[in-house]
Amino acid sequence: MAGLVLIKQMANDLAALNGLLNVDETIAAMDVLRSQLDEVLSFLAALSEALQSRNSEMAAEIGDALGDMQFQDITRQQLGTIGQGLDELTAHIESWRAQLTEGNRDDAESFTSRLSRLQSQYVMANQHADHRAALTGTDDIGVCHGARVELF
């Protein structure tokens, strides 16, 4: 009889546990959670794709802006070099004028040394190539030597 009492007690304990756990409700709640998790994962996947797309767009826009800024900086440098060249040419012509009108020949700087000083200030490779082409008389002036935009 003790065994029967023990079995009844175990059955009562299982019934009490089943009531506490309510397995059917737990399974239903887990199904709801799985469905919500699927929705969240779908949302996160779409968000990730949208962020990657926008990141690519922004990177392209930033690259374009930097390219434009570098182009403007290169143009500014080239105009500055032209201005320096014109200043040197003006100084050389003034030196000639002084030589012709005043006979002053002692402090005259050669045009070659003036050009060399300008060339030493070049930053970009194509400036050096164009200068060499101008000095040698080749038809290579203005040809793009290397990358269009240089990092220096």
Q: What are the CA-CA distances from residue 71 to residues 66, 67, 68, 146 (Å)?
A: 8, 6, 5, 15
- CB 95, CB 109: distance < 8 Å: yes
Please tell me the predicted confidence (pLDDT) of residue 102. Answer: 82
Looking at the predicted structure, is the pLDDT value of residue 28 above 70? yes
Q: How confident is the model at residue 11 (pLDDT cuts 50, 70, 90)?
A: confident
Q: How confident is the model at residue 111 (pLDDT cuts 50, 70, 90)?
A: confident
Looking at the predicted structure, is the pLDDT value of residue 48 above 90? yes
Looking at the predicted structure, is the pLDDT value of residue 14 above 90? no
| CA–CA separation, 129 and 9 (whole Å) | 100
- CB 146, CB 125: distance < 8 Å: yes
Amino acid at 131: H
| CA–CA separation, 50 and 10 (whole Å) | 57
Average pLDDT score over the chain: 80
Looking at the predicted structure, is the pLDDT value of residue 72 above 70? yes
Of 9 and 2, the structure prediction assigns the larger pLDDT to: 9
DSSP one-letter code for 33: H
**Positive or negative: CA dihedral 43, 46, 48, 51:** negative
